[in-house]
Amino acid sequence: MNASSPDPKTAAAATPPSTVALAPKQLAQTLEDGMYAKATAPLGRMFLQTLSGGAFIALGFVFMVTSQQGMGDWPIGIAKLLGGAVFSVGLGLVVISGSDLFTGTTMTLVPRLSKRITTGQMLKHWGISAGGNFLGALGVALLILFAGTHATNGSAWGLVVLNSTQAKLSYDWHQAFFLGILANFAVCLAVWAATAGKTVADKILAVAGPVALFVSTGFEHSVANMFMLPMGLLIKYTAGDAFWQGEAMRAAGKSVEDYASITVGSALWDNLIPVLLGNIVGGAVLVGAYFWSVYRRGDADLAKG
């Protein structure tokens, strides 16, 4: 190489990466490639990524619960907006870490529609993702319980959890289903937008708006509920007398009898099952199949031809 010629590696390193977002068609290809990689990952790595996915969403819910203590005197819209904004930390961590979140994983329908994976591969990935997310979220719930966080501030933290859990179990089955569709419609749009981001800041900002939208409006997210519902059950059945005698509980006039509707059966049938099914429709169909139809269908037909 001529001594005066620049080293290609040095020149490449000196050139700043482009911050221009991909065009929608390229973005659809990038999303499909990412979903393909997740669906075909080695099982051990796939499972570990699902554990952190559930744990990070649980941490987002922990932050949201913390933000809602003592907010009863605030305008309800502001209180809910604050809760939604801080909850977005959870999805931000998922996106930046490359963790596997069931609600986003529903978009592996995209490589399935392009015939890059089989239906069996897709469903296996969905099952591992949902199961791993549940274990990760439950692990955080247990850590919170053992840490005594639920009893902090005169049991105000736990009161928020119990009231939120009770509200989630009050929906009719069809209502929970449609709330699940809307939640994952927003979450998968957040993932779509984050895929376009080139920097950490881009990706975090991309998820913040859609997540704040769905949380503040009260849409239902199955993985978030894999933390909240077990947390409510753990508090109800294991917190003990000291918790129920906390200042916040006494001020609210609440006792364990007021939360009789919080049961394992209700958590499963009245919320997790319809919400999970709704999440599949919202993510796989309204986002995944939609963008595939707009940007990838022709390419898939050409590949078959």
Q: Is 253 left (phi over 0), alpha (psi -120 to 50) or beta?
A: left
pLDDT, position 61 = 97
Report the mean per-residue pLDDT for the chain: 92
pLDDT at 304 over 70: no
- Taking only the tens place, the pLDDT of each residue in 190-205 is 999 999 988 999 999 9
Least confident span in 22-31, 44-53, 154-163: 22-31
pLDDT attached to residue 178: 98
Question: What per-residue confidence (pLDDT) applies to 198?
Answer: 86
Query: For the chain, how many helices (H) and strands (E)?
Result: 17, 0
Question: How confident is the model at residue 173, as a pLDDT?
Answer: 97
Rounded-to-integer distance, Cα 83 and Cα 103, Å: 20
The conformation of residue 182, written as its DSSP 8-state character, comes to H
Long-range CB pairs of 124-129 (<8 Å, 24+ gap) are 125/38, 125/39, 125/46, 126/102, 126/280, 128/43, 128/46, 128/47, 128/50, 129/46, 129/50, 129/53, 129/100, 129/101, 129/102, 129/105
* CA-based end-to-end distance of the chain: 46
Number of residues assigned to the chain: 305
Residue 252 has pLDDT above 90, yes or no: yes
pLDDT of residue 1: 47
List the one residue out of 4, 28, 23 whose CA is nearest residue 292.
Answer: 28
Give the pLDDT score at 305. 43
Supply the pTM of this predicted model.
Answer: 0.91
Chain segment 46-55, per-residue pLDDT in tens:
999 999 999 9
- Say if residue 206's pLDDT is above 80: yes
**What are the tens digits of pLDDT across the range 145-158?**
999 999 999 999 99
Domains of the chain and any CATH numbers:
21-304 (1.20.1080.10)
HSE, side-chain direction, 13 A CA sphere, residue 221: 35
pLDDT (0 to 100) of residue 23: 84
